[in-house]
């Protein structure tokens, strides 16, 4: 059944678990996630980015893929979430399409690149909440900019993210400001910045607490214990999939993601929604490269697409279990 984000995250808070929010662009990703959720009895957040809507799927196909998932798995609660909305009007369109949750990312201007002022962020987020709540739709806001504490750079690899240098204050959400932001906007969930960034290139070495500030999450949670926190850029960048990609003709340099144990630490401290896109991309590409290399005469796309679906689904099962989502559908 389609439910609101608020309802799902309230349950997660009550029972101390987190929910991976997977980005979806096509049938295989949606299917992989639903197979995993069905296997582990987990609630599901499916999110569509601006990039997904621009891709072949477009908003109507995306929406119907998600509706098909709900129809086929009626016993699994599903949130249809719009990821990284760049303006209240983008969110309004998603609400009209039937999304049960939207993200108004007012940490950036509506170009999705330029860091905004605090006042701007409060204004666009508050207006979106007013509109969304009138329709029973939940809102995720974001305070702070995703960026690398190693390099001081924002990341815009995926077309959404600050461009250029960021200060430490911009890259680490301030607990006091977070309290003021939540009070003024009434958001249902708050995305925070703690040193993660979108894409595969988060850290040049396994992250230590100077470049991945889980302590900051603890401080924010201590200040606003009743607010559901969201971690973006939470792919773990599995080393085994990097190795497979590179073994079968790929060329991805050494890179590290957010260790699952660090996300578990976040979940102990108020993180309820964990955004993951890159991990499924890596598994999908690795499985495709391996299959085609090992089966050079095969030309039916269903063969390698089936392999990618299985690879993605295995990652989803692992995250549902690690985040203690399993058993809560």
Catalytically active residues, by annotation: 83
Q: How far apart are CA 73 and CA 81, in angstroms?
A: 18
Half-sphere exposure of 74 (CA within 13 A, CB side): 1
Compute the least distance from the CB of residue 279 to ligand G3H, in Å: 10
Q: Which of 83, 142, 277, 279 binds Na ion (CB under 5 A)?
A: 83
| 281 interacts with, out of ligand G3H, Na ion, Zn ion, none, CB within 5 to 8 A per kind | none
Inter-residue contact 283 to 314 (CB < 8 Å): yes
The answer to whether residue 277 forms part of the interface with Na ion (CB under 5 A) is no
Is residue 140 at the binding interface for ligand 13P, with CB under 6 A as the rule? no
Question: Closest separation between CB of residue 310 and Zn ion, Å?
Answer: 26
Nearer to Zn ion, 94 or 275 (CB): 275
Distance (Å, whole) CA 124 – CA 26: 30
Least distance CB 139 / Na ion (angstroms): 10
The secondary structure of residue 238, as a DSSP letter, is -
x-or-dash string of contact with ligand G3H, 293-322, rule CB under 6 A: ------------------------------
Residues in the chain, total: 329
Site for ligand G3H in 148-167 (CB under 6 A): 158-160
219-238 positions binding ligand 13P, by CB under 6 A: 232-235
Q: At what angle do helices 214-223 and 260-267 cross, to 10 degrees?
A: 10
Nearest distance in Å: CB 199, ligand 13P:
5
Nearer to Na ion (CB atom), residue 202 or residue 273: 273
275 binds ligand 13P (CB under 6 A): yes
Q: Which residues contact 77 (CB under 8 A, 6 or more apart)?
A: 1, 3, 7, 8, 43, 44, 329
Nearest CA among 206, 169, 161 for reference residue 51:
161
φ/ψ of 141, rounded to 5, equals: -110, 175
Distance between CA 13 and CA 18 in Å, rounded? Answer: 8
Structure-block tokens of residue 5: 């984000």
Q: Is 289 a residue that touches ligand 13P (CB under 6 A)?
A: no
Other beta carbons less than 10 A from residue 111's beta carbon: 10
Judged by beta carbon distances under 5 to 8 A according to partner kind, the member of Na ion, ligand 13P, ligand G3H, none in contact with residue 309 is none
Neighbour-count burial of 200, counting CB atoms closer than 10 A to its CB (0-12 exposed, 13-18 middle, 19+ buried) = middle
Q: Which of 229, 276 has the CB closer to ligand 13P?
A: 276
Q: Are 257 and 237 in contact (CB under 8 A)?
A: yes
Residue 277 interacts with ligand 13P (CB under 6 A): yes or no = yes
52 binds, among ligand 13P, Zn ion, ligand G3H, none (CB under 5 to 8 A by kind): ligand G3H
Q: What is the smallest separation between the CB atom of 16 and ligand 13P, expressed in angstroms?
A: 22
The answer for residues whose C-beta is within 8 angstroms of residue 253's C-beta and 6 or more apart is none
Give me the phi and psi of 271, to 5 degrees please. Answer: -75, 125
Choose, by CB under 6 A, the member of 5, 26, 53, 83 that binds ligand 13P: 83
307 binds, among ligand 13P, ligand G3H, Na ion, none (CB under 5 to 8 A by kind): none
Which residues are near ligand G3H by CB under 6 A?
23, 49-52, 83-84, 158-160, 198, 277
Which residues are near Zn ion by CB under 5 A?
232, 275
Which residues are near Na ion by CB under 5 A?
83, 103
């Amino acid at each position: 059944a389609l439910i609101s984000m608020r309802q799902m995250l309230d349950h997660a808070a009550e029972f101390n678990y987190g929910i991976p929010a997977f980005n979806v662009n096509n049938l295989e990703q949606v299917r992989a996630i639903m197979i995993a959720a069905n296997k582990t009895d987990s609630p599901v957040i499916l999110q569509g980015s601006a990039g997904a809507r621009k891709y072949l799927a477009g908003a109507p196909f995306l929406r119907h893929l998600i509706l098909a998932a709900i129809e086929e798995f009626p016993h699994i609660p599903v949130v249809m979430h719009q990821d990284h909305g760049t303006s209240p009007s983008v969110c309004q369109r998603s609400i009209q399409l039937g999304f049960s949750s939207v993200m108004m990312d007012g940490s950036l201007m509506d170009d999705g690149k330029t860091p905004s002022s605090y006042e701007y962020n409060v204004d666009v987020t508050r207006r979106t909440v007013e509109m969304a709540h009138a329709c029973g739709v939940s809102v995720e806001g974001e305070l702070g900019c995703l960026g690398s504490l190693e390099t001081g750079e924002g990341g815009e690899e995926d077309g959404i993210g600050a461009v250029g240098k960021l200060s430490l204050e911009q890259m680490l959400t301030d607990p006091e400001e977070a309290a003021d932001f939540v009070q003024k906007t009434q958001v249902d969930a708050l995305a925070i910045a703690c040193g993660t960034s979108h894409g595969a290139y988060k850290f040049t070495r396994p992250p230590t607490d100077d470049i991945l500030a889980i302590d900051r999450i603890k401080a924010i949670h201590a200040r606003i214990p009743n607010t559901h926190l969201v971690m973006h850029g939470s792919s773990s960048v599995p080393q085994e999939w990097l190795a497979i990609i590179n073994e079968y003709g790929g060329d991805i340099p050494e890179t590290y993601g957010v260790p699952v144990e660090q996300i578990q630490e976040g979940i102990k401290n108020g993180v309820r929604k964990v955004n993951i896109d890159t991990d499924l991309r890596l598994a999908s590409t690795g499985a495709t490269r391996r299959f085609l290399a090992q089966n050079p005469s095969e030309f039916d796309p269903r063969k390698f697409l089936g392999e990618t679906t299985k690879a993605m689904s295995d990652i989803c099962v692992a995250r549902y279990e690690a985040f203690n989502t399993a058993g809560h559908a």
